[in-house]
Amino acid sequence: MAELFLSAFVTLFVVIDPPGCAPIFAGLSADATPRQQRIMAMKAVLVASAILFGFAAFGEALLAALHIDLDSFRIAGGIMLFIIALEMVLEKRTQRREKRAEKLRAQHAQTPETEDISIFPMAMPMIAGPGAIATIMLLVGSTPGREGTLVVLGALTAVMLFMLAALLAAGPIIRLLGASVESAITRLLGVLLAALAAQYVIDGVKGSFGI
């Protein structure tokens, strides 16, 4: 179970990417007071957690209702995660997030009051994006028994706690890491995610063809 927890934690940590979300949150909430930033950080993590736990609990039933085989979802999810990993290695994901942040900052500059960014874009799609939703469904669907599911949910809880800590300490983290260190970490995590994504596709193909 310790191995399962570590595997699930690393996978979710790479996909949800707390260190990558922290600078985006810091930039979007730059005009807010420290108290408003804390409230928005907590609200974003709570809403994103509710979304991910909801898909973890009812995702398999949703697939059954849509007549989608779990192995097919493994293949599709693996391909999606591989694309995310490729973007991380090439830094396309970071560039896209920065462009989205710049656009939202420009919108905020046109409004005098502080805008609540906790639900959109932080909770969704920054934290609980399609990749995170697909990953938690894959992990829960690939884990046998209730005990294994609880271990995966425990790993998700740990990652979300890391996310909360990262958002609350967004400013100091940016100053501590620097752009070059953050870029190196993102690329390394992208390579690890690519290997995990390839494994999901292999498992899906094996299950589909009974290999």
Task: Give the residue from 3, 51, 8, 2 showing the smallest Cα distance to 158.
Answer: 8
Structural contact between residues 28 and 105, judged by C-beta atoms closer than 8 angstroms: yes
Q: How confident is the model at residue 151 (pLDDT cuts 50, 70, 90)?
A: very high
Say how far apart CA 179 and CA 70 lie, in whole Å. 39
Say how far apart CA 30 and CA 152 lie, in whole Å. 34
Residue type at 73 in one-letter notation = F
Instruction: Give the position of tokens 């502080």.
Output: 114
The whole-number pLDDT of residue 107 equals 61
Is the link from the previous residue into 23 a cis peptide, with omega within 30 of 0? Answer: no
Question: Taking the model in full, what pTM does it have?
Answer: 0.71
38: number of Cβ within 10 Å: 15
In angstroms, what CA-CA distances link 112 with 82, 106, 157?
41, 12, 36
Percentage of the chain beyond pLDDT 70 is 82
Name which residue leads in pLDDT, 171 or 69: 69
The whole-number pLDDT of residue 112 equals 46
Mean pLDDT score, 197-210: 85
178 has a pLDDT exceeding 70: no
**Residue 124 has what DSSP assignment?**
I
User: 154: buried, middle or exposed (CB in 10 Å: 19+, 13-18, 0-12)?
Assistant: middle
The whole-number pLDDT of residue 165 equals 95
- Over residues 78-118, the pLDDT tens digits come to 888 788 778 778 877 666 656 666 666 666 555 545 578 89
Phi, psi (5° rounding) for residue 117? -105, 15
Say how far apart CA 88 and CA 68 lie, in whole Å. 29
The whole-number pLDDT of residue 121 equals 78
Say how far apart CA 30 and CA 37 lie, in whole Å. 8
8 has a pLDDT exceeding 90: yes
125 has a pLDDT exceeding 80: no
Say how far apart CA 141 and CA 63 lie, in whole Å. 10
Say how far apart CA 98 and CA 39 lie, in whole Å. 23
210 has a pLDDT exceeding 50: yes
Most confident of 35-49, 73-87, 164-178, 184-198: 35-49
Structural contact between residues 138 and 74, judged by C-beta atoms closer than 8 angstroms: yes
Name which residue leads in pLDDT, 97 or 188: 188
Say how far apart CA 93 and CA 70 lie, in whole Å. 27
153 has a pLDDT exceeding 80: yes
Mean pLDDT score, 62-89: 81
